Amino acid sequence: MIERQGFVNIVKPTGMTSFDVVSKVKKIMQTKKVGHLGTLDPAASGVLPIAVGKATKFFDYFLNKDKIYIAVAKFGVETDSGDSFGKIINTDNKDVSEEDFKSVLKNFIGRINQTPPKFSAIKIDGKKACDLARANVDFEIKSREIEIYDIKFLNKIDKNLFLFKVHCQAGTYIRTLVSDIAKSLDTVAITPVIIRIKSGVFEMQDAVTLEELENFPQLVTVEEVFKNLKKLTLNEQIAKKVLNGVKIKYNEISNQITLTQKEEFLIEYKGKIVGLYKLEDEIINPIVFIY
């Protein structure tokens, strides 16, 4: 297989798992080393960044980046999965008004506790929670603190049906958010539509479908993804240290590049990206080394 390195920003269709998309990209790009940078539920669609080759080393870096979603909240029905694909377990005839919905959104902005849904990819004793749930195994998922940076009401689509936008910390479950919003309104709800429009630096406007990738199997380079960062080109003397894992002091390269504390930047040597680095306490520290 051909050795490739870079990223693909895929529009994951509804119904496919993130693993399904990775398998497709492996075949299209003719390489085995492929991984996604943050799971999307099978019922969700939208931006799914895929790393290929040594770019998979950026997994941890991108996994914790902010996400933006557009979603639909449907009040009056509850399913075991929190979406429209699950089994209906409860219904309610309460009429939620636009004013009701808008009034509670502010209560969910900031740091809040959230219990991930049982139908999720979270591991419980080495097994996916969704697999245990489908097998009717009884288990508990611990709540955790997440952060919602902003929630915006977009439109009332129909009775008990609302479109909204969420900017949140990685690890936030939109289905749980909608369920918790419903509880605060003394009713139940599901999330029939979830579309991720941004994941870290990857945005919907730059994403491609699997069909488009198949017709034009082009990768986005590491340099293109981090195009807004400064870049240091190493000379032979400094390269010898960096490539051997020796940390260098800022004053050794300050005549070539000006950095502020905690600033991230790329290092290049002989036309190849060495990795992503950060200035910390006058020391140049690697975040991701890919040379």
Joined tokens for residue 62? 């991108």
Q: Among the residues of the chain, which ranges form H helices?
A: 18-29, 59-63, 98-105, 129-134, 174-184, 210-215, 222-225, 236-243
Adjacency order of strands within the sheet including 230-233: 230-233, 264-269, 272-280, 283-289, 248-249
The b-or-e profile of 24-43 (16+ CB within 10 A means b, else e) is: bbbebbebebbbbbbbbbbb
Question: Hunting for tokens 């900017």 — which residue is that?
Answer: 167
Q: Report phi then psi at 101, rounded to 5.
A: -60, -50
* Calpha distance 56→248 (Å, rounded): 25
Please confirm, yes or no, whether 41 is among the known catalytic residues. yes
Q: Calculate the CA dihedral of residues 207, 208, 213, 214 and round it to 10 degrees.
A: 160
Q: How far apart are the first and last CA of the chain?
A: 20
Contact 49, 204 (CB under 8 A): no
* Calpha distance 220→234 (Å, rounded): 23
Catalytic, out of 20, 41, 83, 186: 41
Question: Which residues are annotated as catalytic?
Answer: 41
